[in-house]
Amino acid sequence: MRIKETNRRPAKSPWSKRFRAAAFVSVAMTAVVLSGCSSSSTPTPSSTSVASAPGTADSGTISWWASPITSSGADPRTVLIADFEKAYPNIKVNLISAPTDTDTNRATLTTQISGGAGPDVYMGDVIWPAQFADHQLATPLSQYLPASYFDTFAPGLVAGATYKDQVYGAPFFEDQGFLYYRKDLLAENNMKVPTTWEELMADSKAIQAKGQAQYGYVFQGASYEGATCNYMEFLTDAGGTVLNSGATSSTVNSTEALKALTFEQQLVTSGVSPQAESTYQELQAMNEFSAGNSVFMRNWDYGYSTSQAPGSAVIGKVGVAPMPTFEGQKTPGYSNIGGWNLYVNPHSKNVAADLTFIKWMTGSDAQKTLATQFSEIPTNQAVRQSPDVVKSNAVLAVVPQTKLIARPAQTPFYPQVSTAIYTNVSAVLSGSMTPAAALKAAETAINTALSGGGL
């Protein structure tokens, strides 16, 4: 999950996959609690009767708008296009390389599609469905694809792509939060990997007291999207939500929310986390951990490979695990979701071919390529549970064990909702606000946004 939505490959930012200027839906494998939803069910299309898509399913030309997925090595986009065109020789795919800055990407697409132009298929952030659907910038895929198609995805991912009971995005690849830890320090102290936040804090203090690490836990607490992602994990662990089931009002000023934010504050005031946590984004947390200064780190899927890169002080010493939760809650804790979906432009003339492309890209062949060749987390449930995929990467081996939570992006006003969360959370971490005052301010700001007054 970055400093802003800049200088990052979309696959690794919180709005996208992992934020990379400093580096963006769902339950483990059984259930999901969407932030802002009171139900743990995952909404999926219920109708088996779908319309026929205009165009020809096995011929034509598709323009695909997609940001670079990796910054080195082979380009996954061109690799996948070549494989697709072998499978469908009568469909030609023209790649349009989209901006790596998510804000620029979104703004450019909005301008193009609003003007009646734009690509046929575009790769977009998992938090876009409500915003794009509300402004008629995306085609509801569930009008043309049956429920059986959406059932192929890992639990919860389709819920995050749904707005007003229609699915607008096909989950392409995913990202989520992981707990990275120092295997050597835990072994030396006869400690197991903590499964609760309370254990993590106690273990951190014990190791810090011995002078074996400067910090116990580093995470993302700066005033930006990353702080929203981190807080969503604490909040959901505590049993709280941000929005009511209809996304019409805020539920963030609650006892559960206070528990979550108070604990997050205590990480800093206790010295387990740096005093400067209110300025930490992915890069700062990664740098501290790779330098050997912290026992634990919360970061996105790239955290393991980065910690093992040349120059790291912790090569061979890092493990990865699901996020912890609070005592008394069912383990593991929740991991926030990032990633990218595939969307169809409402102005596309050959929707049938677009859907052929999307179904192939989210099918077993393409998803296995993304996972095993490019270390992306597949969205296809069968692929992510495949033994070949699980053994190919330390992070991918943990994915089947995790429990996921989406950000409260089921409203077109999500940018304002997120801003209300991260500005107030960061203010608490900096010491300029109390948790109670911050939650009250966040609730007021969110309700203002939901009423249209935050525009």
Q: The domain 178-335 is classified under which CATH number: 3.40.190.10, 3.40.630.10, 3.60.90.10, 3.30.565.10?
A: 3.40.190.10
β-strand 215-218 against 294-299: which pairing, if any?
parallel
Distance between CA atoms of residues 420 and 241, nearest Å: 14
Statement: residue 426 has pLDDT above 50: yes
Give the orientation angle of helix 351-361 with respect to helix 364-374, to 10 degrees: 50
Statement: residue 213 has pLDDT above 90: yes
Distance between CA atoms of residues 132 and 289, nearest Å: 37
Greater model confidence, 223 or 38: 223
Say what the pLDDT of residue 455 is.
Answer: 52
Distance between CA atoms of residues 173 and 349, nearest Å: 26
Domain boundaries, the chain: 10-18+24-176+336-405, 178-335
Q: Can you point out the beta strands (E) in 73-165?
A: 91-97, 121-125, 162-163
Which fold, 10-18+24-176+336-405?
A: D-Maltodextrin-Binding Protein; domain 2 (3.40.190)
Task: Give the model's confidence band at 305: pLDDT under 50 very low, under 70 low, under 90 confident, else very high.
Answer: confident
Domains 10-18+24-176+336-405 and 178-335 share a fold: yes
Burial of 408 (C-beta count, 10 Å sphere; 0-12/13-18/19+): buried
Say what the pLDDT of residue 20 is.
Answer: 37
Judged by average pLDDT, the poorest of 102-116, 261-275, 317-331 is: 102-116
The DSSP element (H or E) to which 110 belongs, if any, is: helix 102-114
pLDDT digits over 240-258, tens only?
999 999 999 999 999 999 9
Instruction: Tally DSSP H helices, then E strands, for the chain.
Output: 18, 13
Cα 80 to its chain centre, rounded Å, is: 22
Statement: residue 10 has pLDDT above 90: no
Statement: residue 5 has pLDDT above 80: no
pLDDT digits over 368-411, tens only?
999 999 889 999 999 999 999 998 888 999 998 999 898 999 99
Say what the pLDDT of residue 222 is.
Answer: 96
Say what the pLDDT of residue 258 is.
Answer: 98
Helix (H, G, I), strand (E, B) or coil at 215: strand
Say what the pLDDT of residue 44 is.
Answer: 47
Judged by average pLDDT, the poorest of 34-48, 165-179, 272-286 is: 34-48
pLDDT digits over 170-199, tens only?
999 999 999 999 999 999 999 999 999 999
Statement: residue 204 has pLDDT above 90: yes
> What pTM was computed for the model?
0.82
Percent of the chain scoring above 70 in pLDDT: 88
Say what the pLDDT of residue 291 is.
Answer: 98
Greater model confidence, 29 or 97: 97
